[in-house]
Amino acid sequence: MNRAFIESSFSILIMLAFVPLSGGSLGEKSNETLILAGNYWDGLADGPLGPAEVLIIDGKIAKVGKNVTHNEAAKVIDLSGMFLMPGFIDSHVHLTINPDVIAALPTYSDAALTLAGINACKILLHNGFTTVRDAGDLSINSWVVPELKKAVASGSIRGPRIICGGHMISALGGHFDFGGMLRAGAALDQVSVAEGVDGVRRAVHNEVRHGADWIKVAGSGGFLSPSDGPEDASYSQEEMNAIVNASTDLGKPVFVHAYGDEPVHRAAAAKVRSIEHASMASVQTLKMIAENGIYVVPTQMALVPVARDAVNGTFDPKEPEWARQKDLKYAPQILESSRNLAKSDVKIALGTDVGTFDYSKNGAAEFSEMVRNGIAPLRALKAGTSMAAEMLQLNDTGIIALGKRADLVALAGNPFENMSATENVRLVMKEGVVYRNDVK
Ligand SMILES: [Zn+2]
């Protein structure tokens, strides 16, 4: 891709991001809106709460009840045939990744990653995600995601509210060191590669300096990196503790990518706030995670179906042989650990890892995937709303209650009866603004 092409595509995309969908009300901020919901769930209750009226003033929930008083001029949205619930929260997305980018990252410019990010933001909001946490900025030595966050917040592009995880701080040769993709001996200057107590401390400060809200760490190898395995621990306990100490000094929580039991255990011992994947954690480690009040973001739709297929001898034909061998080797452990997670008391937040798989796949399928792996429907729904907000320390979203932001979705079905209803979003509202309306 040449520079002129990238620049012209960029301006076209920026223009498209401004164009409202046909149907009028999109992007229009009405002062007072009354939603008539056929059925609703507030993000906390044990089940659906029946019909309700929700009054929204200046982007916030002002009243919830059976028959609320309101201004005669309030704009009415009739969702009498719909199920209303809080907007979804995906705590593990990669806005600047898609599978093509992963395959050849060092050849991608920051402009190309920005374009991928603008597209990802648009799709996520359309699918009902009103808040997301980015789990790893793919720009090698700049910061794209904080710019996307600002652009969404200012209204210049449409997308969910973004919590920035910065780059995934990684050991040399670890999960987020892309230098191994280059020919032997070629150097790649990457801000995310750091080792030793002083090195990781400096990396934490550098991420925060450039706008990271959370500190993301590659605590183990992975499935998408050829030179390391998901059981390999990338950092010593001393380095992991140093990362948490440096982050805590700056008031930033830490989230750690870890698959194998040992790296998951190290992250838990360092008292990080959330562990991502944790897909091969033992029963004992899950118990320790629960006791320490650490959250797990299990990203099951990206992993568990692949493990199920591998056990049955089915593989993605595009997958290289080394990846197939990893799937085969670890599938039984992944399936066992997912059953143990469902039986545990661990606080679970929904995350998809979208970006590592294509954005054409709706991340709301994670709700159903969690239920398929034994997680109770109520726990799965909370994972993608109130529990995620609690983990992210956002006390203004994730539930439908007085004074909270009007981040809402309307579904064509009741997810307590059939969880795939979460993939059938008909209306999306973020802070009182309707971004999608297929109801009228
Ligand atoms: Zn990820």
Q: What is the mean pLDDT of the chain?
A: 90
pLDDT tens-digit readout, 128-154:
999 999 999 988 889 999 999 999 999
pLDDT band at 186 (very low <50, low <70, confident <90, very high): low
Same domain (yes/no): 76, 191: no
Which amino acid appears at position 397 of this protein?
T
CA of 209 to the centre of ligand 1 (A): 22
Diameter over CA atoms, the chain: 71
For residue 47, the CA-to-ligand 1 centroid distance in Å is: 31
* pLDDT of the residue at 202: 97
In the predicted structure, residue 11 carries a pLDDT above the cut 50: no
Task: Give the distance (Å) from ligand 1 centre to CA of residue 40.
Answer: 32
Q: Are the CB atoms for 162 and 137 separated by under 8 Å?
A: no
For residues 187 and 27, the model is more confident at 187
Percent of the chain at pLDDT above 70? 90
Residues 6 or more apart whose CB falls under 8 angstroms from that of 341 comprise 278, 281, 286, 296, 298, 348, 373, 375
Q: What is the pLDDT of residue 117?
A: 96
Residue 236's alpha-carbon distances to 239, 262, 265, 328, in angstroms, are 5, 11, 11, 28
Report the range of poorest mean pLDDT among 94-103, 197-206, 239-248, 347-356.
94-103
How far is residue 397 from each of residues 187, 240, 389, measured CA to CA in Å? 44, 31, 6
Spacing, Cα 91 to ligand 1 middle (Å): 10
Residues 160 and 302 in one domain: yes
Q: Where are the alpha helices (DSSP H) in 23-181?
A: 99-103, 110-126, 145-154
Q: What is the CATH number of the domain that holds 363?
A: 3.20.20.140
17 has a pLDDT exceeding 60: no
- Residues 328, 426, single domain; the answer is no
Sequence length of the chain is: 440
CA of 56 to the centre of ligand 1 (A): 35
Q: Do 327 and 407 have their domain in common?
A: no
Whether 2 contacts 46, CB under 8 Å = no
Question: Which residues pair with residue 427 across a beta bridge?
Answer: 410, 437
54 close to 85: Cβ distance less than 8 angstroms: no
Residue range of the domain that includes 322? 88-391
Do 211 and 149 share a structural domain? Answer: yes
Tell me the pLDDT tens digit for each residue of 312-345. 989 888 888 888 888 899 999 999 999 999 999 9
Q: Is residue 21 part of a domain?
A: no
Residues 280, 415 within the same domain:
no
Residue 83 and residue 102 in one domain: no
Is there a single domain that holds both residue 74 and residue 139? Answer: no
What separation in Å is there between the alpha carbon of 259 and the centre of ligand 1? 11
pLDDT for position 100: 78
Q: Using the 3D structure, point to which of 355, 372, 391 is the last residue of a domain.
A: 391
CB-based contact 67:24 (threshold 8 Å):
no
Band the pLDDT of 390: cuts 50, 70, 90. Answer: very high
- Which residues have CB atoms below 5 A from the ion given as ligand 1? 135, 353
Going from the C-alpha of 250 to that of each of 185, 243, 355, the distances in angstroms are 36, 11, 29
Q: Are 224 and 102 in contact, with CB atoms under 8 Å apart?
A: yes
10 is a domain residue = no
Residue 114 lies in a domain: yes
Distance 393 CA to ligand 1 centre (A): 20
On whether residue 26 sits in a domain, the answer given is: no
* Radius of gyration of the chain measured on its C-alpha atoms: 21
Tell me how far the alpha carbon of residue 38 is from its chain's centroid. 29
CA of 256 to the centre of ligand 1 (A): 10
147 C-alpha to center of ligand 1: Å? 20
Residue 150 domain-assigned (yes or no): yes
DSSP state of 122: H
pTM of the model: 0.91
Rounded to whole angstroms, the Cα distance separating 253 from 165 reads: 10
Whether 117 and 246 map to the same domain: the answer is yes
Q: Are residues 257 and 403 in the same domain?
A: no
Q: How many A from CA of 94 to the centre of ligand 1? A: 6
SS3 145: helix
- How far, in Å, from the CA of 74 to the mean position of ligand 1? 42
The pLDDT tens digits of the residues spanning 40-83 come to 999 999 999 999 999 999 999 999 999 999 888 899 999 999 99
Does the pLDDT value for residue 203 go beyond 70? yes
CATH number at 54 reads: 2.30.40.10
Whether 407 is in a domain gets the answer yes
Q: How many domains does the chain have?
A: 2
Q: What is the mean pLDDT of residues 172-200?
A: 79
The reply to whether 425 falls in a domain is yes
Q: Are residues 133 and 267 in the same domain?
A: yes
Q: How far is the CA of 104 from the centre of ligand 1 (A)?
A: 17
List Cα–Cα distances, 338 to 65, 114, 354, 422, in angstroms.
39, 34, 19, 21
Q: In this structure, are residues 313 and 209 in contact, taking their beta carbons and an 8 Å threshold?
A: no
Asked whether residue 83 falls in the same domain as residue 98, the answer is no
Question: Tens digit of pLDDT for each residue in 232-274?
Answer: 999 999 999 999 999 999 999 999 999 999 999 999 999 999 9
Integer Cα distance of 28 and 114 in angstroms: 26
∠ CA 54-59-61, nearest 5°, is 30
In a domain, 58, yes or no: yes
